[in-house]
Structure 1
C-alpha cells in the first residue's frame, strides 16, 4: 500500500486534473464526438455489450488545479447494446451514424443515434465476403458528401463501401493476404495502412493499387501498429510505428524505406496482448505522442530531439493511475486497453483499462513550471 499512497501524494503535484471513473465493463474504444462527448463500448464475449455516448464532466473545463476527484459524473447521453464484442468504433462526422467491428469478424454494424430519444440502435450490416475466424476488419471513415467506410482484415480484402448505397467504391484488387493492424484516412483520396508485420503503405484511391510502401522492420518478429500525424502540424517525421517489444520508429512519408529515427521505449515487458498496442500523436502539442498496451501505464514522449538509432529514450510523462488507484495488489495491475488525446486541451488524455476503469487526466508540465 505504501507505493499506492506515495503515488497519491505525488499525483497532486503531477496532475492539473485527474478524474477516475468505473464503466460497467472494459472498453477497447474511445471515440470523440465533438470535444465534450466520447463513445465507449464493451468488448466481452458471450454477453451483450453496452455502447454508450458519454458527456464529459463540466468540472474538466475548470482551469485551476483540482487534484484527484474519483467520481462517477460522466453523463450518459445515449446508449445501446451489441450482441458481439466491439473492438473498433468510428463516428461518421456530421452524421448520427456509428460503425462497429469485432469478432466474429464477418460484418460491420451500422448504428444510428436517435434524435428524439436516448437510444443507439442498429440500422444495417455491411457484410464481409471473406470468412476470417481469428481476424476482424479494421476501419476508417472517409467523411465527404457521401461518406464511405474503408475496411478490411487483410490487404486483399481492403474496400471502400458507400454507407448509404452499400456499393463498393474502391477495392485493392490484390491477392496479398498480409493481416492489417490499422487503417487511417489522410485526405479525400488517400489513406494509410499498417500490417501486423510492420509493413506500412500510403494509398491514393484515384490510381490503381500502387502504394508507397516501407517493407517493415524485417525479421525481428512481433506485431506493429502505426499512426500518421495530421498534415497541418509542424513539418518533420509524421509517421510513428510501434512494435510489441517497445521499439518505436519515426518515418517521413517521402522516404518510407529509411526511418528517420528508431528508439527503444522503456516498457516493462513485451505487450501481453499486441491487439491493444497503440501509438497516437498529440493533436495540439507539438512533436508529442503517447503509447500504451504494454502494462497499466500510458507513456508520453517528446520526439523533438530524436534522430538516428538510440538505445533507449525516456518518457516526458508516465500515467500510472490505472496501477495505483484502487488497486489492491500490484501484481494484479490492469492492462491499458486504449487511450485518446483531447482534441483541444494540449495535455489532456483519456485512458481505459481491462478492469473497466476510465481516467481523464491532464499532466503538469514540470519543466515549464
Structure 2
C-alpha cells in the first residue's frame, strides 16, 4: 500500500495529464479514428465481446490547460458485439469500415459504423485458411479500392479487395513461417515480421521478392519477435525497431536488414509471459522515441538517439507504472499490459490497456528536458 501511495504522490510530478478508466472487459485492441476517437474490443472466449468507438475526454482535445473541464471521461459513440474474441482490429481510413481478426480464424469480419445510429454492425465475412491456434495478422491498404492485408503464415499472406472480396495479391510461396505483425508502408509496399525475428519489405507491383533478413538477430535465444517501422521508413537511418520477448531491441536501416545498426537490452522484469502481447511502437511526432510493452504491467518509453553497437544495456526515458498501482480489481497477480498506442498529434500522450480491463491515457513529463 505504501508503494502505491508513494507512486500517487510522485505521479503529480511525472504526468502532465493522466486519465484512468475501467472497461467492461479487457482489450488488446487500440485503433485510432481521427485524433479524438479510438476503438477497443474484447477478447474473451465463450461470450459476446463488445466493439466500442470511444471519444477521448474533452480535456485531451484542448490546446492548453484550462482548469476544470466537463466530460472528463470517455464517451461511447458507437458499439457492437462480436461472437468471437477480437485479437486485431483495423479501421479503413476515410471510410466507416472496420476489419477484425481472432480465434477461431476461419474468417475475417468486416464491420460498418452506421451513420444514422450508434451501432457498429457486421456487413460481411472474408474466408481465410484454417491455421489451428494461429490467427491472421491485419493491415489495411487505403486506396480507391481498399484492401486488407492478412495472413497467419507467409504462405497464406494475401491482399483481399474489400468490395469484390477477390484476392488482389498473394505471396505464392510455401513458406510456413508464422507472422507476428504486418504494416502497410505506402500505396504499393508493406512490411512483415515473423515470430522468429525474420523481417521483410515487399513491393506488390512485382512477384514475391522481398528485401529481407532470413536469420533472427543474434542473442535472441529463440525468443519471439515483433516490429514497427516509423513513418517515412524508406528514408535514411535506423527506422525499423524489432523487439524480442527477452527484452532485446534492435534498430535496423531498411537498406540493410541483415546488420542491425544497434542491438540493446531493455531492463524487462522477466521474459514476456504472453509474447502475443508484445508491442513496440515509434512515436509519430516525437523524434527518435519509441515505446515497448507486453512483458509486465508497465509501458517503457526510450530515446534511441545515442544507441549504438551491440549488447549495451539501456534505461527508459520514462516508465508508466499506473496499471500496477491503480489496479482497481485487486488481482492476485500483477496486471499485464495488453497493448499501447501513441496519440497521432500530441507528442507525449499515449493510451495503454491491461488485462484487468483498465484503460489509461497519459501525457508524461520529460524530466530530462526540464532539468
How high is the TM-score relative to the length of structure 1?
0.96
Does the aligned pair in 2 maintain the 1:233–1:286 contact within 8 Å?
Answer: no
Aligned counterpart, 2:312: 311
1:342 aligns with 2:319: no
1:279-298 paired onto structure 2 within 5 Å: 279-298=280-299
Aligned counterpart, 1:23: 23
Does the aligned pair in 2 maintain the 1:237–1:260 contact within 8 Å?
Answer: yes
Output the CA distance in 2 between the equivalents of 1:254 and 1:335: 35
Aligned counterpart, 2:134: 135
Output the CA distance in 2 between the equivalents of 1:113 and 1:61: 23
Aligned counterpart, 1:193: 192
Output the CA distance in 1 between the equivalents of 2:238 and 2:209: 22
1:60-99 paired onto structure 2 within 5 Å: 60-62=60-62, 63-64=64-65, 73-99=73-99
CA RMSD of aligned residues (A): 1.8
Output the CA distance in 2 between the equivalents of 1:138 and 1:65: 41
Deviates more, 1:164-173 or 1:218-227: 218-227
1:160-175 paired onto structure 2 within 5 Å: 160-175=159-174
1:1-369 paired onto structure 2 within 5 Å: 1-62=1-62, 63-64=64-65, 73-128=73-128, 130-215=129-214, 216-217=216-217, 220-231=221-232, 235-327=236-328, 332-369=333-370
Q: Name structure 1 gaps, 5 residues minimum.
A: none
Are the structure 2 counterparts of residues 214 and 234 from structure 1 closer, same or farther at C-alpha, using a change threshold of 3 Å?
A: closer
Q: How many residues of Structure 1 are paired with residues of Structure 2 in the alignment?
A: 366
Output the CA distance in 1 between the equivalents of 2:312 and 2:325: 29
Output the CA distance in 2 between the equivalents of 1:332 and 1:354: 11
Does the aligned pair in 2 maintain the 1:16–1:66 contact within 8 Å?
Answer: no
Deviates more, 1:227-236 or 1:238-247: 227-236
Deviation of 1:300 after TM superposition, in Å, equals: 0.2
How high is the TM-score relative to the length of structure 2?
0.95
Q: Which runs of 4+ in 1 moved over 6 A?
A: none
Output the CA distance in 1 between the equivalents of 2:180 and 2:233: 25
Does the aligned pair in 2 maintain the 1:323–1:330 contact within 8 Å?
Answer: no
Deviates more, 1:18-27 or 1:309-318: 309-318
Q: Name structure 2 gaps, 5 residues minimum.
A: none
Deviation of 1:310 after TM superposition, in Å, equals: 3.4
Deviation of 1:54 after TM superposition, in Å, equals: 0.2
Output the CA distance in 2 between the equivalents of 1:15 and 1:232: 30
Are the structure 2 counterparts of residues 116 and 327 from structure 1 closer, same or farther at C-alpha, using a change threshold of 3 Å?
A: closer
SS of aligned partner of 1:132? coil
Does the aligned pair in 2 maintain the 1:17–1:65 contact within 8 Å?
Answer: no
Deviation of 1:235 after TM superposition, in Å, equals: 3.9
